[in-house]
Amino acid sequence: MKPWARVFARLPWARSTRAYAFGLQHVRVPPRARILDIGAGQGRGTAYLTRVFPQALVVGVDLRFDTCLRNAALETGPRPPVFVQADARHLPFAADVFDLVTLVMTFHCLPHPRTVLREVHRVLRPGGVLLLADVDGRHWMRRPFEWVERAFISPNTRVYQPTTWHRWASEAGFNQVRFHKRPGRSRGFMLWMVAEA
């Protein structure tokens, strides 16, 4: 992991759970859900999910497990998350397992996002939900964000238009694709997509 990436991961906005909190207002999952958080990173978002869903089984996946904090360092719910090192293109889970999959500020880093969406659809149970939160490709900050991320975090960074998200999600088999923006921030930096399997 690049030194700059380590520094970035410790900054307050990298640890924010607000993107999860807003997106979760638009999904319904059972209390004892199985939840997969792709791109767990430092593990804080995954830990947040265990606090919101205290009876759920929450699994955090990241390509490099060494970037995730150990459970003891995280503020978790009563059932701590499980971390698995895996490539999101080849998730080590059976089909139709999860009720919710989250991709929060991860989609722009994926070198093969279409493949990941197909794999997410595979592991979601019928009626399960994908919550994707990322940079809105229509925002004027898209290009500067890409330049900074490519220079210091990941050379794979690419921000996509919502029409592209929708098309790829539909191709992967998702239906009822909906987009959300924060109230009063229709031109905001972040966009949320909820898609049902």
In tens digits, the chain (197 residues) has pLDDT values of 445 445 444 444 444 788 999 999 999 999 999 999 999 988 889 999 999 999 999 999 998 766 555 555 788 999 999 999 999 999 999 999 999 999 999 999 999 999 999 999 999 999 999 999 999 999 999 999 999 989 988 888 999 999 999 999 999 999 999 999 999 888 889 999 999 99
SS3 of 183, please?
coil
* The two structure tokens encoding residue 53: 């869903």
Q: Which residue has the tokens 């966009």?
A: 191
Q: Per the confidence metrics, is the pTM higher than 0.95?
A: no
Over the range 21-56, which residues count as b (16 or more CB within 10 Å of their CB) and which as e? ebbbeebebeeebbbbbbbbbbbbbbbbbbeebeeb
Q: Quote the CA–CA distance of 60 and 37 in Å, as a whole number.
A: 5
Query: What are the residue ranges spanned by the domains of the chain?
Result: 112-197
Fold of 112-197: Rossmann fold (3.40.50)
Residues in Cβ contact with 55 at an 8 Å cutoff, skipping those fewer than 6 apart: 31, 32, 79
